[in-house]
Chains A and B, each alone.
Chain A
Amino acid sequence: MNHMINKEELKNQIILALNLEGMQPADIDDAAPLFGEGLGLDSIDALELLMVMDKNYGIKFANKEESKAVLASIDTMAEYIDNHRTK
């Protein structure tokens, strides 16, 4: 199994992919929801995050519901990446 993912690195990838200029990794709470009430991301951001998962970790989702649960927070994303990354 690959080494555990560094959450700060993941947050930096998200900040870059979503063009969140001026935001620091520390501004994103590990456990808080990324969508809706938390950070406030929307469905287009979700598509960009799926591209991050594919490009950086070789993870593709066949089913929309599953990806929704994985993209819920930094914690859920990190856990899924640790268990499913292919690169």
Chain B
Amino acid sequence: MRIAVTGIGIVSALGVGKQANQENLLAGNSGVAAPQILNTLHKEWPVGEVKLTNEQLRQLLEIPSVTPEINRNVLLGTLAAREALQDASLSNEQVRQLMLVNGTTVGGMDLTENSVDRWFQGDYSDINAICQHEAGSTAEMISTFIGTAQNSVTISTACSSALNAIIFAANQMRQGQVKRVLAGGVEALTRFHLNGFGSLGILSEKICRPFHEDRDGINLGEGAAYLLLEDENEALNRGAHIYGYIAGYANRCDAFHQTASSPDGEGAFLSMQDALRLAGLQPCDIQYINAHGTATPNNDASEAQAIERLFGTPFQSPRWQEPRSTKNLTGHTTSASGSIEAVFCLMLMHARGYQYVLTNAFGFGGNDSSLVLSCKPADLPLPGDNMDGKNTPNENHRGNKAISTTSIYSVEEDADTKPYLTPMQARRTSPQMRRLIVAAKRALSEANIDIPDAIIVSTRWGGITPTVSLLKSMIENGEEGFSPSLFMQSTHNTPASTLAIVLGCHGYNCTFSCGNHSAQMAQTDAYLQLAGTDIKNVLVCEYEEEQEDWQKLLRTTKIDNIKTAKALVLSCN
């Protein structure tokens, strides 16, 4: 089957809309500068801001100012999503039937960090803003603004979120579940994650220099981009303009460290290799690589090593054309980078006449994703096709796998987790995280599996305990003294990446944070993985922490939060 891209929408430091972004991308103009919109003391850290205030964004979107406050993530996301739909010329009914798959991490953090001191003092009058904190609420609100009636899906794997949203959407389409999906991601700058990255000591005080010998760190950025993915037959039937095709993709896990990449870039190597494999391409077919290239000494060394291992030529050699990474133009747009840079790849592809382009997005915990885009029609194997020799479908196996649940484990409150983890392994885990590790190990042992083929986790709030600790630290000390350990535990995909590191699992790794249907989406994805790839089993987990101050806030809303650490293993024959 073929998945065409028939609409794109984008907003970044390079401007609002595809025209401004394309002009500045091709001219190499950087949008990175000292913070003007974000209310931060850290003027020494340049950022890639969308140079519009929230009020200006509302005016652009024609949202009446009498409506309740809307977080910046929703405003940026709606702007890009609307452009993609207009670009694709879909009818209102086609939009109504459309599913949005969104990647994000910060959710409504910009509102939270401005109001949380009042909330923790017992002022619960901001219920609207409290509800917006949840990462999954961003996609729900964007869906409402753009007029889709379907449940949205939110994937939260830190900086690879948007690329994983595209991958999940493509997997659903490959298996005939849907004909059209709007997929991408959004991330707005907040003091929370600027200080978080600052605490890791990886922010540069200059415009960043990806892959440069003297590179000294990241510039953070913000923005959003969405791609309308459409079954080629549907696109041709309605005479849609086709920008390009999804030719291949993969997500694999470095399983090395929560924030650092391994020296040999194993996760990146595997994700690029398996994306090429799904595309039925050889390394020599790829004409351009858009690297993750954050400009930290560690990421760029590790990624360049992985590229050299797979492609046989150093990434600095003339084989690879500039710019190699666009982080110096937009800043690192974290959860949105995967879709923003996929749009850039389509633009470069047309401007330079490339046929195949590969783009990478890597997240905390070594969550490494790669996507191959093609300007010409590209066939994706259907489930059951021979992966190495596509276009030779084996009808006997297609979609014919029997999938069974081998084992389920929840771990009781007083379980002794010590035998399962050394003090060094346990030092960055909450008690609840340790219970999840025990549940996972017991479920795997019951299923006679040492290392699962994939790990999929559902969690609405992710690391809410470290998040609240950091918010309290901001209330007490402002933008000083952020703990790097707490920041790296605060992302939604901490449970999934911790499991991958403890278990040594380099396979597919994904986290769903979409309200009360998070667990259902994790299971859906597990079935997609088992039916659509050659893996034999998936570890599926549900994770929720209980944080006292947060529970108090949630009691004022209608949102449930039930403490959970549950693991189950799904296997197929």
Binding site for B on A (CB under 8 A): 18-23, 39-40, 42-45, 47-48, 51, 55
10 pairs of A and B residues whose beta carbons are closest in the complex: A47-B484, A19-B427, A22-B423, A23-B423, A44-B484, A20-B423, A20-B427, A18-B427, A40-B424, A47-B201
Residue pair B423, A48 in contact (C-beta under 8 Å): no
27 sample A-B contacts, Cβ–Cβ < 8 Å, listed by A number: A18-B427, A18-B485, A19-B426, A19-B427, A19-B485, A20-B424, A20-B427, A21-B423, A21-B427, A22-B418, A22-B423, A23-B423, A39-B424, A42-B257, A42-B260, A44-B259, A44-B485, A44-B488, A45-B485, A47-B199, A47-B200, A47-B201, A47-B484, A48-B483, A48-B484, A51-B481, A51-B483
Residues of chain B contacted by A42 (CB below 8 angstroms): 257, 260
- Given A47-B201, A48-B485, A51-B483: A19 in contact with B424 (beta carbons within 8 A): no
Residues of chain A contacted by B199 (CB below 8 angstroms): 47
Shortest distance from the beta carbon of A22 to any chain B beta carbon, whole Å? 5
A42 vs B418: C-alpha distance when bound (angstroms): 22
Contact of B200 among A40, A44, A55 (CB under 8 A): A44
A9 vs B428: C-alpha distance when bound (angstroms): 22
Residues of chain A contacted by B485 (CB below 8 angstroms): 18-19, 44-45, 48
Residues of chain B contacted by A20 (CB below 8 angstroms): 423-424, 427
Residues of chain B contacted by A21 (CB below 8 angstroms): 423, 426-427
A51 vs B427: C-alpha distance when bound (angstroms): 17
Which residues in chain B, 413-429, are within 8 Å of chain A measured between CB atoms?
Answer: 418, 423-424, 426-428
Shortest distance from the beta carbon of B462 to any chain A beta carbon, whole Å? 18
A43's closest neighbor in chain B, by CB? B260
Q: Which of B199, B418, B485 has the most CB of A within 10 A?
A: B485
A18's closest neighbor in chain B, by CB? B427
Q: Is the contact region of chain A dominated by helix, strand, or loop, or is it mixed?
A: loop
Residues of chain A contacted by B201 (CB below 8 angstroms): 43, 47
Residues of chain A contacted by B423 (CB below 8 angstroms): 20-23
Binary A-proximity of B189-227 (CB < 8 A = 1, otherwise 0): 000000000011100000000000000000000000000
Shortest distance from the beta carbon of A72 to any chain B beta carbon, whole Å? 18
A20 vs B424: C-alpha distance when bound (angstroms): 7
Shortest distance from the beta carbon of B487 to any chain A beta carbon, whole Å? 9
A48 vs B487: C-alpha distance when bound (angstroms): 12
Residue pair A22, B488 in contact (C-beta under 8 Å): no
A40 vs B424: C-alpha distance when bound (angstroms): 8
A83 vs B453: C-alpha distance when bound (angstroms): 53
Shortest distance from the beta carbon of B365 to any chain A beta carbon, whole Å? 13
Residues of chain A contacted by B484 (CB below 8 angstroms): 44, 47-48
B427's closest neighbor in chain A, by CB? A19
Residue pair B481, A55 in contact (C-beta under 8 Å): yes
A4 vs B485: C-alpha distance when bound (angstroms): 29
A54's closest neighbor in chain B, by CB? B481
Shortest distance from the beta carbon of B433 to any chain A beta carbon, whole Å? 12
A22 vs B418: C-alpha distance when bound (angstroms): 9
Residues of chain B contacted by A22 (CB below 8 angstroms): 418, 423, 426
Which residues in chain B, 396-441, are within 8 Å of chain A measured between CB atoms?
Answer: 418, 423-424, 426-428
A44's closest neighbor in chain B, by CB? B484
Which residues in chain B, 233-267, are within 8 Å of chain A measured between CB atoms?
Answer: 257-260
A32 vs B268: C-alpha distance when bound (angstroms): 34
B298's closest neighbor in chain A, by CB? A43
A61 vs B483: C-alpha distance when bound (angstroms): 17
Which residues in chain B, 449-504, are within 8 Å of chain A measured between CB atoms?
Answer: 481, 483-485, 488
Shortest distance from the beta carbon of B550 to any chain A beta carbon, whole Å? 20
Residues of chain B contacted by A44 (CB below 8 angstroms): 200, 258-259, 484-485, 488
Known: A19-B427, A39-B424. 13 other contacts (CB 8 A): A18-B427, A18-B485, A21-B426, A22-B423, A22-B426, A23-B423, A40-B424, A44-B258, A44-B484, A47-B199, A47-B201, A48-B483, A48-B484
A15 vs B229: C-alpha distance when bound (angstroms): 50
Residues of chain A contacted by B426 (CB below 8 angstroms): 19, 21-22
A24 vs B258: C-alpha distance when bound (angstroms): 25
B259's closest neighbor in chain A, by CB? A44
A62 vs B524: C-alpha distance when bound (angstroms): 51
Q: Which of A18, A20, A43 has the most CB of B within 10 A?
A: A43
Q: Which of B200, B258, B259, B484 has the most CB of A within 10 A?
A: B484
Residues of chain A contacted by B260 (CB below 8 angstroms): 42-43
A51 vs B482: C-alpha distance when bound (angstroms): 9
Which residues in chain B, 157-213, are within 8 Å of chain A measured between CB atoms?
Answer: 199-201
